[in-house]
Amino acid sequence: MKYSIEIGKIVEGALKHDQVKVLNYTKQLILKLEKDGEARAAQKFSKLVENQEELTLSAMGTNKEFAVPVDTESRTSLADVIYPDENNTAVILSKSNAEKLNTFILSYKNADKLNSLGIGVSNTLLLYGPPGCGKTKCAYLIAKELNLPLIVARLDSLISSYLGTTAKNIRTLFEFAQKTPCVLFLDEFDAIAKARDDSNELGELKRVVNSLLQNVDAMSSDSLLLAATNHEQLLDSAVWRRFDYKLEIELPDTEAMIQMVDLFVSNSIDLSEKEKYELAVAFQGLSGANIEEIIKKAFINAIIHEKAFNKLNIYNELFIFKNILPQTLDNPKESLRIKARFLRGCNSRVFSLQVIADILESSKTTIQKLVKEADES
């Protein structure tokens, strides 16, 4: 049935006498009707909405007055709200990760069609993997693609030192998220979903995890929950099972890193495709956040030292990041030798003696001699 998610939520809100929920999902329905060319129906519902009091919650953030719940002790907000028109997130992933993420987004966009065929739609997604690989950006991208506000839980407010308050805050946040079309995002998820058999944790952890499980179970199938963690091995097994869809965000592959170099360098320098590929090879094993940091620092250093920004600046920042040069080293020849050997070690076929010479602004003869001396020593 078309618009089944919105209609279901409107009926649910009406039965619970929850006017806010009814109005929010009616607004969402109006947007979909307008998009599908159902102008007459959209206008009819719009008039009904206009006759009601102005919403404190807005499905698409038009009045930007999301009444975010607060921690009763500290009075700080339990979440931040990122509206669609404020969400300009772009994320570069490996081809495999990008395809899997797109499948999740498309399944939710086509929820009505899938539900009409009796096919359940995954509404819970767990993102895990090394830090700096784009898990948080993926959550932002999903909300952007679905044109929904992103409700980002604030752990500093959610987790309380008062007995029972954390579990209460979790329940409050879940209830809030189900009142309006949105994406609820729990980052650093292991902080509230750690295994209950951890001997180093107190009994409060069990109450928190039990509360989390109950709230996930109570979620309607048309609500969307995302979570992210760098430490999936710490998660409680029952929490792990609650997520229909799990996606490991891996370190970027070579193709993704070439795109990152292109994005982060922007128009600052003109790199050939070959030079971008060489940088990607040198960046192997690094996260997207690492690559962005290296290029950003290289650009800043070039500016403050009033030097031209070129690829050597980027490689020099990479050498610093990798800590390949002893801090006490004050020998230009030895420094050049260490850098040359590092690049050869990345991939000797990609980093030929001539390529290394070009990168380090030296001669092929000098590099050949330094590498030979190093091999013989």
Is 336 in the same domain as 302? yes
Is 200 in the same domain as 320? no
CA-to-CA dists, residue 341 to 312, 320, 349, 357, 373, angstroms:
16, 15, 13, 12, 11
d(CA 11, CA 22): 7
Query: Which tokens is 304 given?
Result: 């403050």
Query: Which tokens is 279 given?
Result: 């940088």
**Residue that is last in its domain, among 202, 218, 248:** 248
d(CA 204, CA 291): 39
Is 129 in the same domain as 188? yes
Is 51 in the same domain as 66? no
**Residue that is last in its domain, among 248, 279, 309:** 248
Q: 79 has which bridge partners?
A: 153
Instruction: Please tell me the total count of domains within the chain.
Output: 3
> In this predicted structure, what is the pLDDT of residue 52?
64
Is 40 in the same domain as 93? no
Is 75 in the same domain as 173? yes
The length of the chain, given as a count of residues: 377
Q: 153 has which bridge partners?
A: 79
Is 212 in the same domain as 101? yes
d(CA 68, CA 375): 63
Backbone angles phi, psi at 63, to 5 degrees: -105, 0
Is 263 in the same domain as 307? yes
Is 66 in the same domain as 48? no
**Residue that is last in its domain, among 212, 230, 248:** 248
Beta strands per DSSP E along the chain? 79-82, 124-128, 150-153, 183-186, 224-229, 245-248
Is 162 in the same domain as 212? yes
Question: In terms of C-beta density within 10 A (0-12 exposed, 13-18 middle, 19 or more buried), how is residue 232 classed?
Answer: middle
Whether 5 and 112 have beta carbons less than 8 Å apart is answered as yes
> In this predicted structure, what is the pLDDT of residue 377?
64
Q: E strand or H helix at 368, and its extent?
A: helix 364-376
Is 366 in the same domain as 260? yes
> In this predicted structure, what is the pLDDT of residue 66?
63
Question: In terms of C-beta density within 10 A (0-12 exposed, 13-18 middle, 19 or more buried), how is residue 38 classed?
Answer: middle
- Residue-range definition of the domain harbouring residue 214: 62-248
Is 309 in the same domain as 369? yes
Q: Tell me the CATH number at 89.
A: 3.40.50.300
d(CA 10, CA 20): 10
For the chain, the straight-line distance linking the first and the last C-alpha, in angstroms and rounded, comes to: 75
pLDDT tens for the 377 residues of the chain, in order: 677 777 777 777 777 666 667 777 777 777 777 777 777 777 777 777 776 644 444 444 444 456 788 888 888 899 999 988 888 888 999 999 999 999 999 998 888 888 788 887 888 999 999 999 999 999 999 999 998 999 999 999 999 888 789 999 999 999 999 888 889 999 999 999 998 776 666 677 888 999 999 999 988 777 799 999 999 999 999 999 999 999 999 999 999 999 999 999 987 899 999 999 999 999 999 999 999 999 999 999 999 999 889 999 999 999 999 999 988 888 999 999 999 999 999 999 999 999 999 999 999 999 999 988 767 66
